[in-house]
């Protein structure tokens, strides 16, 4: 429930329509339904499902979403005003909006005279007729109507009288919302504030803002519009959209709610912000920038020893808000810039017993700095760092050791390259010798190592590699250069990363692979049984 005097901002999400216009973004009907459900749970007020008159997929979404009982959000359909010279009731796009079954529709109309005369090739008066008739037709059919004034800020700057006449036409026809669009994304915050203030003083219908990010100012422009009187913000999750994207609601929401005193969602829902951002990124198959404000993996990551020491005493020293409020977490990075505070905080985060008074603590700091000098990087390989801390704390248990491995590759004119790896390891007092093929030498090595260990540690069958990166550390050495390999692994939704460095890419890959398995076995609390005293190590051969 809204409180009396509450400064309420309505959230309008267009991830499913405007967001999909971003390069490389494609969502299936079921993808869109899943995102819509999650947005509804978070507390978004309007969810724009698509343009039913433009493609069969969007119409299929509207049919599918009817079966879903949403708790809060209104599903809206998007379209344009009727065409020049065509009556609203005869326009197929407007008819498609009604057939979609939604209770709210958003239509855009031209508010920049340049677009009216050069893009639509019609008169300014005919454009006003199109706006008014379209809004009136949809209202007569029982829909809430949100009017998006396309290119409004550019139009106002070139011809303010006509831009306002467009809004007046929509308002007179019964539009429930008037949304001012910075379609080209080039406006500045002070311009947005001044223009929104003028519109607010001239009209009665509530105002919304629809900002694009071409000038890297979409969030600032949206906040300025709200301060000037806008009560609806249109945007997308993670700022996806055409060109440089739409305004990022993930950044707008916490700024409005935690810093400016407005209410966007229920207070308890705000803690879902980070998971919502990552959920949409996962479904859209996009990599979320680690430095994305508020929700990025690095948004509350601290690296410098002085910073870490201060944050551990009082987080406000280097954090603009508590990460838990938006569902993120504080992270302490360990690198060549680290001090004891970094290691102690990291050990505490990982529930590893680490006594700062032990000489191993200082030795480990020096060891990490030396390894980073060699090319290791533990900021993106926290699993490998955990293993180092376990070793320093005396908690590490060597569950398996390498005896040797060999890799064969064969290329014929008729066939693709075949890769085969042989791994000989010692586990539980026994030499295990396995051979496996793979899609490339690293995959073959991975398969052989797993085959050798799965009998002793069945949890490995549920683990798989999700990412593999190779970075050349010294380009001047050409093919003899040292390389860093980063491997990301996953099991039951949990991800972890490990690192290896060598002048040989296979050796670096082995190091990262072995660490990825050791980390999982530690997390699972795996142990090995000491072999009986009289038992002799024996060799087991596992064929491929």
Residue 22 or 311, more confident: 22
Task: Report the distance separating Cα 358 and Cα 346, nearest Å.
Answer: 16
pLDDT (0 to 100) of residue 321: 93
- In the predicted model, is pLDDT for residue 168 greater than 90? yes
CATH number of the structural domain 401-531+537-542: 3.30.160.270
Q: What pLDDT sits at residue 533?
A: 45
Distances (CA, A) of 525 to 150, 399, 518, 520: 59, 11, 11, 9
Express each pLDDT in 375-390 by its tens digit: 776 766 778 888 887 7
Which has the closest alpha carbon to 349: 375, 311, 320, 376? 311
In the chain, where are the structural domains located? Answer: 10-265, 301-393, 401-531+537-542
Q: Is 512 exposed, middle or buried (0-12, 13-18, 19+ CB in 10 A)?
A: buried
- Token look-up 């060891």 returns 367
* 342 Cβ contact partners less than 8 Å away, ≥ 6 residues apart: 302, 303, 305, 308, 332, 333, 334
Report the pLDDT value the prediction gives residue 522, as an integer from 0 to 100: 85
Nearest to 114 by CA among 147, 157, 173, 75: 157
**Between the CA atoms of 389, 394, 399 and 403, what dihedral angle is there, to the nearest 10 degrees?**
90
Any bridge partners for residue 179, and if so which?
148, 208
Q: What DSSP designation does 20 have?
A: G
* Residues facing residue 468 across a β-bridge: 487
If phi > 0 it is left, if psi is from -120 to 50 it is alpha, else beta; for residue 537 that is beta
At 46-95, the pLDDT tens digits run: 999 999 978 888 999 999 999 999 999 999 999 999 999 999 999 999 99
Q: Token digits for 96?
A: 């498609």
Residue entry with tokens 């496996």: 436
**Structure tokens belonging to residue 352:** 């590893």
**CA dihedral defined by 115, 118, 122, 124, rounded to 10 degrees?**
50
Query: Is residue 214 within 8 Å of 243, Cβ to Cβ?
Result: yes
C-alpha closest to that of 198 among 158, 165, 154, 229: 229
Q: Which two tokens stand for residue 251?
A: 């950044």
Question: What CATH number belongs to 10-265?
Answer: 3.20.20.70
Q: What is the pLDDT of residues 296-308, one digit of tens each?
A: 878 887 776 677 6
* 516 has pLDDT over 80: yes
CA 232, CA 127: separation in Å to the nearest integer? 25
Distance in angstroms (rounded) separating the CA atoms of residues 66 and 75: 9
- Predicted local distance difference test score (pLDDT) of residue 532: 44
The chain-wide mean pLDDT, for the chain, equals: 87
For 46, residues 6+ apart whose C-beta sits below 8 A from its C-beta are 10, 11, 12, 13, 73, 74, 76, 104, 146, 232
**Residue 1 pLDDT exceeds 50:** no
Element at 91 (helix H, strand E):
none
Mean pLDDT of 320-347: 70
What's the rounded Cα separation, in Å, for the pair 226 and 448?
59
Gap between the Cα atoms of 300 and 219, Å rounded: 20
> What is d(CA 28, CA 107) in angstroms, rounded to the nearest whole number?
23
Inter-CA distances, 266 with 14, 15, 72, 76, Å: 20, 21, 11, 22
């Amino acid at each position: 429930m809204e409180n009396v005097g509450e400064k309420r901002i309505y959230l309008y999400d267009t991830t499913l329509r405007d967001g999909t216009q971003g390069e490389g973004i494609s969502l299936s009907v079921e993808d869109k339904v899943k995102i819509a459900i999650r947005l509804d749970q978070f507390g978004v007020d309007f969810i724009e499902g698509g343009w039913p008159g433009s493609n069969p997929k969007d119409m299929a979404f509207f049919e599918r979403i009817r079966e879903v009982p949403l708790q809060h959000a209104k599903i809206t359909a998007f379209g344009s005003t009727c065409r020049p010279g065509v009556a609203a009731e005869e326009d197929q796009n407007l008819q498609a909006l009604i057939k979609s079954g939604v209770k709210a529709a958003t239509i855009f109309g031209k508010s920049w005279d340049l677009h009216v005369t050069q893009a639509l090739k019609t008169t300014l008066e005919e454009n006003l007729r199109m706006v008014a008739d379209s809004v009136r037709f949809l209202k007569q059919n029982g829909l809430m109507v949100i009017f998006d004034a396309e290119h409004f800020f550019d139009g106002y700057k070139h011809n303010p009288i006509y831009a306002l006449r467009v809004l007046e036409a929509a308002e007179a026809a019964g539009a429930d919302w008037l949304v001012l669009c910075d379609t080209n994304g080039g406006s500045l915050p002070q311009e947005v504030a001044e223009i929104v203030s003028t519109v607010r003083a001239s009209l009665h219908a509530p105002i919304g803002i629809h900002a694009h990010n071409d000038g890297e100012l979409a969030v600032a422009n949206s906040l300025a519009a709200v301060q000037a009187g806008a009560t609806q913000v249109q945007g997308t999750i993670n700022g996806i959209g055409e060109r440089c994207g739409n305004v990022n609601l993930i950044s707008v929401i916490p700024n409005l709610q935690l810093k400016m005193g407005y209410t966007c969602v229920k207070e308890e829902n705000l803690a879902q912000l980070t998971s919502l951002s990552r959920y949409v990124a996962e479904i859209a198959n996009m990599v979320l920038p680690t430095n994305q404000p508020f929700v990025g993996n690095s948004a509350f990551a601290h690296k410098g020893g002085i910073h870490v020491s201060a944050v551990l005493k009082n987080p406000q020293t280097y954090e603009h808000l508590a990460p838990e409020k938006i569902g993120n977490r504080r992270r302490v990075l360990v690198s060549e810039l680290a001090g004891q505070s970094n290691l102690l905080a990291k050990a505490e985060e990982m529930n590893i017993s680490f006594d700062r008074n032990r000489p191993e603590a200082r030795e480990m700091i020096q060891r990490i700095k030396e390894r980073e000098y060699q090319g290791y990087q533990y900021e993106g390989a926290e699993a490998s760092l955990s293993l180092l801390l376990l070793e320093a704390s005396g908690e590490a248990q060597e569950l398996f050791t390498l005896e040797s491995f060999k890799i064969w590759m064969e290329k014929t004119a008729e066939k693709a390259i075949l890769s085969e790896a042989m791994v000989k390891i010692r586990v539980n007092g026994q030499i295990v010798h396995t051979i496996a093929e793979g899609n490339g030498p690293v995959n073959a090595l991975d398969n052989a190592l797993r085959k050798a260990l799965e009998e002793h540690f069945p949890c490995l069958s549920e683990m798989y590699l999700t990412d593999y990166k190779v970075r050349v550390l010294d380009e001047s050495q050409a093919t003899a250069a040292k390389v860093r390999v980063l491997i990301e692994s996953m099991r039951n939704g949990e991800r972890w990363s490990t690192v290896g460095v060598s002048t040989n890419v296979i050796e670096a890959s082995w190091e990262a692979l072995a660490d990825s398995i050791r980390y999982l076995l530690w997390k699972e609390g795996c142990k090995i049984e000491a072999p009986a005293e009289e038992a002799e190590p024996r060799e087991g051969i596992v064929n491929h």
